[in-house]
Amino acid sequence: MKIAIIIILSLIAIMAIAQVFISNSTHQTEQHQYQVLKTFDKFEIRKYDAALFSSVKMNKKGYKENSSEGFRILAGYIFGDNETNEKIAMTTPVAMELGDTTKMMFMVPKNYDLDNLPNPKNKKIVFEKQAQKVMAAIRFDGWANDDKIEQYKNVLVQELAKEHIPHHNKFIFLGYNPPFEMTNRRNEVIVELIDYK
């Protein structure tokens, strides 16, 4: 009985140490930079830097149907499935445009541009430059799913309407944590604003 308790406590300690290490690693990952312009009770307005993204479009709708496949394709590219077998650093957050079709995007690290990026072997992967944008963002914790994303998207829509802030009605889900990170999970829904002053 004592041995079983010692084993269980040891496993809990190992898992806790692993989660601390994973969390520190997540915080050190290069992020898409933004400046907070204004904070409201339930959301904030941010100005995002221009950035280059790798992306893949999927034909299915929603987060659940597309997250694994999209992640697998883009992660394969950065883990070396490219014409030079080069490994490229992971960035955060992983972005998913949600609509009739779904597009998953990874920000390309700043030390790369279109001239020095290796070509992907998977022809579904494309690169796109995105200009500086002003976005509204709402955050939620825990594990993301389609219902939660829809719930927070609706809250964001209501809050923007309350503040008379127009938007483009094209929503993006942002996930900041790897799947194996169990604690301190950060998720957001963002939308680009129209002529925000």
What CATH number is attached to the domain comprising 178? 3.20.80.10
Residue 37 buriedness (CB in 10 A; 0-12 / 13-18 / 19+): middle
pLDDT score, position 1:
60
Q: What is the pLDDT of residue 68?
A: 84
Q: Average pLDDT of 176-194?
A: 90
CA 48 to chain centre: 14
Task: State which residues form the domain around 83.
Answer: 1-196
Q: Of the ranges 15-19, 109-113, 191-195, which one carries the lowest mean pLDDT score?
A: 15-19
pLDDT band at 20 (very low <50, low <70, confident <90, very high): very low
37 CA to centre of own chain: 21
In total, the chain counts a number of residues equal to 197
What digits encode the pLDDT tens for the residues 41-71?
Answer: 999 999 999 999 999 998 877 788 788 889 9
Pairing of strands 51-58, 186-193: unpaired
37 has a pLDDT exceeding 50: yes
- Average pLDDT over the chain reads 87
Cis check for the bond before 118: say yes or no (omega within 30 of 0): no
Task: Count up the domains in the chain and report the number.
Answer: 1
